Amino acid sequence: MDQTKKPDKKIIHHCEKHFAETHTRTQDGRYEVKLPFKDDTSKLGDSRKQAMARLCVRKGTCQQCDKEHHTLLHFEKKNEDKSASDGSNKSTNALTLSIEDAEEEEEEEQHVVLHSSSGSPLFPTALVKIKAIGGNWTLFRALIDTGSGDTFISEKAAQELSLPREKINAPVRGIGGATAGVSKHQIRIQVAPRFPSTFQLDAQALVLSSLTGLLPQRNIESSSYKGLKIGNTANDQYTWSHAAQRPKLPPIKIGKFSGQLTEWKSFYEMFVHIIHKDPRLHDTEKFSYLLSYLEGEAKGVVAHLSPTGDHYQAALELLKKRYDNKRGVTFQYVNILLDSKKVEFRNAKDIIALHDKINEFSAGMKSLGYSVEDWDPVIVGIIIRKLDGESLRLFEESILDPTAVPTTQQLQTFLLKRHHVLNTLKAGDSNIKAKKTNKDNKETSRKAFHATNIQFLHLYFLSRALWTRMVF
């Protein structure tokens, strides 16, 4: 092969070592790419070593397996295995290849797919069913590429399905921006799991001549591409799973919804996040889950609908129309303050309940989009009417400026402190009462003991007197 001949645009002209390790530019403007080989390559003939040095500009596929990757990967793999088995580190020789046209070198680098020798597996696969012409299902081996934004199907699989095609012209780029080809057609497919299930997924798949031929023949370091880390995969043995490193947490439970307006927003957001957006669930399954979380009045809203997938969206809209009522929720939160129980004298439970009502009101109004920071006069004015006389007097004494309007934060701080004080006093009173009770019990026992002894002595002397009369 003539080394001065310009390489074809379609050739595979780089191996891993060319691109990732050594790109040296000489003083005269040329590029020198160092190709490290193991010592045992010296056993090959001179003509073979020269051919290997020129593999960077050869046409076609691998000489070993006819796949689209560099033939040197086979030699490197054999030498790595041998070095690992011997347990020795052999020195490397370097062959230098000069490429005259630097601009052409940079232009052709877009066809390079970087490889890594990390040893971690690349992608998992799954066996799925795809619906063909006539409604028949055919099993295919699917590559689970979580980093891809599109769905692809090989030309061979597309021909087997015999589905109608739509003409397109879509360039496809792979990992690291490598050119993967141009898709000329796309087809609509339905994918389903091979085990019995009602779940089906509709997708538009771009047709490519080959899929696995575009993959690197050596594994890619998952940390280099964030797209390879997302989500769980089909088989932990064939993938790197970021989720597997996290601690196992208990499943999130969705609470029952009975029709309380103030509970609707939290219930709806939880249901949408866990059930509604789960692509694995069919609408029939989602409707079944929805019914299981409803009770009372809320369940009656959708009771007339049959539990089928066709009615799922209608049921969700009925519930939203009934309970997604900002006005109604707003007045319910206002009533939380207005209907608060008046505090009884030195009752710690009533004090802390009032404190919690303020938190519930503020959080609820903020969730509806209201700004409650300027509502201090209204909130404080309502709450102080619920305080007992002593608590109100102590609150007024705690305010340094008697002419300033107290803030909600000041009121909550006072209520929390008042609650702690009353609990402490209650505990002290309990100890005093307990000691007094013990003292009273001891005094009663002593009096009873003396009374018993007096009665005993009286009977004793009485019996002695009677005995004396009888004897004498």
Q: Can you read off the two tokens belonging to residue 290?
A: 């929805």
Mean pLDDT, the chain, integer: 69
Alpha carbons 335 and 329: distance in angstroms, whole number: 10
Residues 193 and 163 in one domain: yes
Residues 336 and 295 in one domain: no
Q: What is the pLDDT of residue 427?
A: 72
Which pLDDT band, with edges at 50, 70 and 90, does 91 fall under? very low
Higher pLDDT, 69 or 393: 393
Q: What is the pLDDT of residue 207?
A: 85
Residues 385 and 419 in one domain: yes
pLDDT tens digits for range 373-388: 889 999 999 999 999 9
* Domain span including residue 288: 261-324
Q: Evaluate whether residue 222 is within a structural domain.
A: no
Alpha carbons 148 and 134: distance in angstroms, whole number: 30
* CATH number of the domain bearing residue 174: 2.40.70
Domain boundary residue among 305, 324, 343? Answer: 324
Q: Evaluate whether residue 413 is within a structural domain.
A: yes
Residues 340 and 423 in one domain: yes
DSSP 174: -
Judge whether residue 312 has pLDDT over 90: yes
* 79-88, 269-278, 396-405: the lowest-pLDDT one: 79-88
Judge whether residue 3 has pLDDT over 70: no
Q: Evaluate whether residue 246 is within a structural domain.
A: no
Residues 338 and 421 in one domain: yes
Distance in angstroms between the alpha carbons of the first and the last residue of the chain: 155
Q: What is the mean pLDDT of residues 286-302?
A: 92
Residues 272 and 300 in one domain: yes
Q: Evaluate whether residue 467 is within a structural domain.
A: no
* 55-69, 235-249, 435-449: the lowest-pLDDT one: 235-249
Residues 311 and 367 in one domain: no
Backbone torsions φ then ψ of 182, nearest 5 degrees: -125, 130
Judge whether residue 203 has pLDDT over 70: yes
Domain boundary residue among 276, 292, 324? Answer: 324
Q: pTM of whole model > 0.85?
A: no
pLDDT tens digits for range 419-463: 999 888 877 666 556 556 666 666 666 655 555 555 655 555 555
* 36-50, 143-157, 323-337: the lowest-pLDDT one: 36-50
Higher pLDDT, 96 or 342: 342
Q: What is the mean pLDDT of residues 167-195?
A: 77
Residues 310 and 339 in one domain: no
pLDDT tens digits for range 114-163: 333 334 344 567 777 888 777 778 888 777 665 566 788 888 888 888 88
Domain boundary residue among 208, 237, 270? Answer: 208
Query: If residue 85 lies in a helix (H) or strand (E), which one and from where to where?
Result: helix 72-86
Alpha carbons 284 and 286: distance in angstroms, whole number: 5
pLDDT tens digits for range 243-292: 444 567 788 889 999 999 989 988 999 999 889 988 888 888 999 999 99
Residues 141 and 189 in one domain: yes
Higher pLDDT, 457 or 197: 197
Q: How many domains does the chain have?
A: 3
Residues 348 and 304 in one domain: no
Higher pLDDT, 454 or 470: 454
* Strand 151-154 to 31-37 pairing: unpaired
Residues 351 and 298 in one domain: no
Angle at 251 between CA 246 and CA 255, to 5 degrees: 145
Q: Evaluate whether residue 253 is within a structural domain.
A: no
Q: Evaluate whether residue 198 is within a structural domain.
A: yes
Residues 423 and 339 in one domain: yes
